[in-house]
Amino acid sequence: MAQRRVCTDMASVFLSLASVPVHEANIDRYAQQDLKKGLHLYDTPGNVGLTNAWSIIQTDFRCCGVSNYTDWFEVYNATRVPDSCCLEFSESCGLHAPGTWWKAPCYETVKIWLQENLLAVGVFGLCTALVQILGLTFAMTMYCQVVKADTYCA
């Protein structure tokens, strides 16, 4: 019985991996749509974290917008981009001509970086999960010890 379940689980994993290329285009499309919706929250009250994240990504990865810098035109209803898109940062440089802005799309640039650093990202994720599991284990052990001590003291 256990052997059949392991085989079924392995088959599910292989089928899932085999279908990844088929779904990759859909995943990319949905991710880009959601990111473009998020652009409209840029520089709005209560969204400082999102604003900082976009500014850091565009500055560090030397990119602008999800697909390209024209994504920002819809956000501002004008031919302008955030200052973090500028080749050389200066106050209000996002109002200048497109020749002074990064041309690379942030979605593809970050996606390539993640693919190149997949091992490091995976190890970081596993370490984070391990720390959380250990924390839960220690918390449960401590809880059981407290309950056991209360039972004998009462």
**Within this chain, do residues 109 and 144 fall inside the same structural domain, yes or no?**
no
**Same structural domain, 76 and 107:** yes
Residues 97-140: pLDDT tens digits? 889 999 999 999 999 999 999 999 899 999 999 999 999 999 99
Query: Residue 5 above 70 pLDDT?
Result: no
**One domain, residues 21 and 82:** yes
- This prediction's pTM: 0.68
Structure confidence by residue, pLDDT tens digits, 59-73: 999 999 999 999 999
Q: What percent of the chain has pLDDT over 90?
A: 69
- Kindly state whether residues 50 and 81 are assigned to the same domain: yes
Same domain, 91 and 138: no
Statement: residue 90 has pLDDT above 90: no
Q: What is the CATH number of the domain that holds 52?
A: 1.10.1450.10
**Residue 130 and residue 98: Cα distance in Å, rounded?**
46
Q: Could you list the residue range(s) of the whole structural domain that residue 20 is in? A: 2-116
Task: Report the alpha-carbon angle 116-56-49, nearest 5.
Answer: 115
Residue 87: both structure tokens together: 């080749």
Alpha helices in the chain (DSSP H): 2-18, 20-39, 48-60, 71-76, 106-116, 118-153
Asked whether residue 77 falls in the same domain as residue 140, the answer is no
Do residues 132 and 94 share a domain? no
